């Protein structure tokens, strides 16, 4: 089958494909049955024809031998007259002991014995007649008897077989094709609906479901049920996967990743980055068990995560006991600096509540800077949403050069907050890797 043939076959519906296959199978079986029955009937007829010609030959042979036993040559005419009444006998020839023809019917059927022998050598069922021959003897007389049997009746019988068998096969095929059509419609209707449902599912439409209550075989209904169970599990796993992905990436970024974007990198001209380090954490680590330490740290960071969600601040990551967040991406927010400062203030309140519950005395040192960043997703198997740029480094330096329990701001952030918060000018501070920078503390 050519490539175009495969494409054409692939475009056919399942019902059409099954109908064509069944119809083709029916036609092939019909042809095989036709050939078999024709061959069988011909074999049976030939066996009957062989028995009939053998019996006639023996009858003629016996009649001649009995009639000529008394040298009654009139017996030959009696036999010839009897032969005339037999449609299957075409001619009869008698030869004597020397091989010469001395009687034949009809007259002048063969001029010489050579003509007779040549005809006998080429005669067959496929020709006009067949020849039976044998020795005869009656007293002192003897010779050879030749009988020619017409094959016309045989050929007419074969034509009748072909005609009758062909008609029977045609009627049979018409019935089979009708049954195939009805069967394929009844069987493939449910299968076609099942195929369409699975096609929608494989195309990504997990809302599609197979009809379990459709008419059809129990097997089809069972397959439909299995498909729905499988899709249900797939939906549950996808929801779980989506939930895990949303815990790692911002919703907008997760959606772009699911939609097929392989490389996600965005530049933002103005955002505010926060670093908050827990002061006293190292001392606490030496006083409690690792399990207790992780429990306290989890409580602190969970409270920070809730604040970030409420204020639409994007948590970037935690680095040991340091918490990093950004405001103004991936959704751009006009008042990102103001929102981030509010986040820092509420983080201090949240930490005080944790201290009250856990009986600890932890503080946070917070640094904030505003500016341009590049954000994107890195990794292929373990995704991470991260920020790059001088703004990130400067925010980290603000935290490092800040104070416990204080919110340390760069001049860029302070400028965005002008008139909205009370700030304490620290003047120029020597910042590691940056040199002198104007810095501010947020007043309590």
Task: Show the 3-state SS of 150-189.
Answer: ECHHHHHHHHHHHHHHHHHHHHHHHHHHHHHHHHHHHHHH
Query: Which residues have C-beta within 8 Å of that of residue 388, sequence separation ≥ 6?
Result: 373, 374, 375, 376
* First and final C-alpha spacing in the chain: 84
Provide the pLDDT confidence category of residue 358 given band limits of 50, 70 and 90: confident
Q: What is the rounded CA–CA span in Å between residue 352 and residue 349?
A: 5
- Does residue 394 register a pLDDT over 80? yes
**Owner of token pair 């008698």:** 94
Q: Which two tokens stand for residue 383?
A: 């995704």
Provide the pLDDT confidence category of residue 432 given band limits of 50, 70 and 90: confident
E strands, 182-255, where? Answer: none
Going by C-alpha positions, the residue among 86, 79, 121, 87 that lies closest to residue 104 is: 79
The hierarchical CATH code for the domain 258-442 is 3.30.70.1230
Task: Please give the pLDDT value at position 339.
Answer: 93
Phi, psi of 380 (to 5 degrees): -115, -40
pTM value is: 0.52
Provide the pLDDT confidence category of residue 191 given band limits of 50, 70 and 90: low
> From the centroid of its chain, how far is CA 339?
52
Beta bridge pairs of residue 440: 409, 425
Task: Please give the pLDDT value at position 139.
Answer: 73
Domain 1-205: homologous superfamily in CATH: PAS domain (3.30.450.20)
Q: How many CB atoms lie within 10 A of CB 254?
A: 20
Percent above pLDDT 70 for the chain: 63
Enumerate the CATH 3.30.450.20 domain ranges in the chain, comma separated: 1-205
| Average pLDDT rounded to a whole number, residues 407-435 | 89
Q: What is the rounded CA–CA span in Å between residue 222 and residue 225?
A: 5
Enumerate the CATH 3.30.70.1230 domain ranges in the chain, comma separated: 258-442
Using an 8 Å Cβ cutoff, are 410 and 370 in contact? yes
Q: Which two tokens stand for residue 295?
A: 């429990």
| Average pLDDT rounded to a whole number, residues 219-248 | 65
- When comparing pLDDT for 40 and 10, which is higher? 40
Using an 8 Å Cβ cutoff, are 189 and 62 in contact? no
Q: How many CB atoms lie within 10 A of CB 441?
A: 17
Q: What is the rounded CA–CA span in Å between residue 16 and residue 112?
A: 69
- When comparing pLDDT for 178 and 278, which is higher? 278
Q: What is the rounded CA–CA span in Å between residue 257 and residue 315?
A: 18
Task: Please give the pLDDT value at position 324.
Answer: 92
**Owner of token pair 């032969």:** 83
Specify the range with the lowest mean pLDDT, choosing from 32-46, 93-107, 167-181. Answer: 167-181
Q: What is the rounded CA–CA span in Å between residue 168 and residue 163?
A: 9
Q: What is the rounded CA–CA span in Å between residue 64 and residue 70?
A: 11
Task: Please give the pLDDT value at position 126.
Answer: 58
Query: Which residues have C-beta within 8 Å of that of residue 334, sequence separation ≥ 6?
Result: none
DSSP string, 73-110: THHHHHHHHHHHT-TTEEEEEEE-TTS-EEEEESTTS-
Provide the pLDDT confidence category of residue 219 given band limits of 50, 70 and 90: low
- Cα dist from 425 to 322, 370, 406, whole Å: 25, 17, 13
Using an 8 Å Cβ cutoff, are 91 and 109 in contact? yes
- Does residue 420 register a pLDDT over 60? yes
Burial class (CB in 10 A: 0-12, 13-18, 19+), 14: middle
Burial class (CB in 10 A: 0-12, 13-18, 19+), 396: buried
**Average pLDDT over the chain, rounded to an integer:** 77
- Cα dist from 27 to 31, 175, 177, 194, whole Å: 6, 11, 9, 29
Q: Is 386 helix (H, G, I), strand (E, B) or coil?
A: strand
Q: What is the rounded CA–CA span in Å between residue 290 and residue 296?
A: 10
Q: Is 17 helix (H, G, I), strand (E, B) or coil?
A: helix
Beta bridge pairs of residue 431: 435
Per-residue model confidence as pLDDT tens digits over 147-162: 777 777 666 766 776 6
């Amino acid at each position: 089958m050519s490539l175009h043939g495969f494409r054409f076959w692939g475009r056919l519906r399942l019902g059409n494909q099954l109908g064509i296959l069944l119809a083709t199978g029916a036609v092939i079986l019909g042809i095989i049955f036709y050939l078999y029955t024709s061959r069988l009937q011909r074999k049976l007829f030939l066996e009957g024809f062989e028995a009939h010609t053998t019996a006639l030959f023996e009858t003629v042979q016996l009649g001649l031998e009995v009639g000529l036993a008394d040298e009654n040559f009139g017996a030959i005419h009696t036999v010839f007259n009897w032969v005339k009444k037999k449609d299957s006998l075409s001619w009869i020839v008698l030869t004597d002991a020397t091989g010469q023809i001395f009687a034949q019917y009809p007259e002048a059927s063969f001029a010489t014995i050579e003509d007779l022998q040549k005809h006998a050598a080429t005669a067959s069922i496929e020709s006009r007649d067949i020849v039976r021959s044998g020795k005869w003897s009656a007293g002192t007389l003897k010779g050879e008897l030749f009988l020619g049997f017409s094959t016309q009746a045989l050929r007419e019988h074969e034509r009748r077989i072909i005609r009758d068998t062909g008609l029977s096969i045609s009627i049979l095929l018409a019935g089979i094709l009708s049954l195939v059509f009805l069967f394929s419609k009844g069987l493939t209707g449910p299968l076609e609906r099942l195929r369409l449902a699975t096609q929608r599912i494989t195309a990504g439409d997990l809302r599609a479901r197979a009809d379990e209550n459709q008419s059809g075989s129990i097997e089809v209904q069972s397959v439909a049920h299995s498909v729905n169970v499988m899709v249900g599990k797939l939906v549950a796993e996808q929801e779980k996967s989506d939930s895990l992905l949303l815990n790692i990436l911002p919703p907008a970024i997760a959606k772009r990743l699911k939609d097929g974007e392989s490389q996600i990198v965005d530049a933002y001209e103005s955002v505010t980055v926060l670093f908050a380090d827990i002061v006293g954490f190292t001392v606490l680590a030496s006083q409690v068990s690792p399990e207790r330490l992780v429990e306290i740290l989890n409580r602190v960071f969970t409270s920070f995560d809730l604040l970030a969600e409420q204020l639409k601040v994007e948590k970037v990551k935690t680095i040991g006991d340091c918490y990093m967040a950004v405001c103004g991406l991936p959704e751009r927010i006009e008042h990102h600096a103001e929102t981030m400062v509010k986040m820092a203030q509420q983080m201090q309140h949240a930490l005080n509540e944790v201290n009250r519950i856990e009986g600890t005395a932890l503080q946070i040192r917070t640094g904030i800077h505003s500016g341009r960043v590049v954000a994107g997703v890195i990794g292929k198997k373990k995704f991470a949403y991260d920020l790059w740029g001088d703004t990130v480094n400067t925010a980290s330096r603000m935290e490092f050069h800040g104070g416990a329990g204080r919110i340390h701001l760069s001049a860029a952030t302070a400028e965005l907050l002008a008139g909205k918060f009370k700030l304490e000018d620290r003047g120029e501070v020597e910042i590691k890797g940056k040199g002198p920078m104007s810095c501010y503390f947020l007043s309590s």
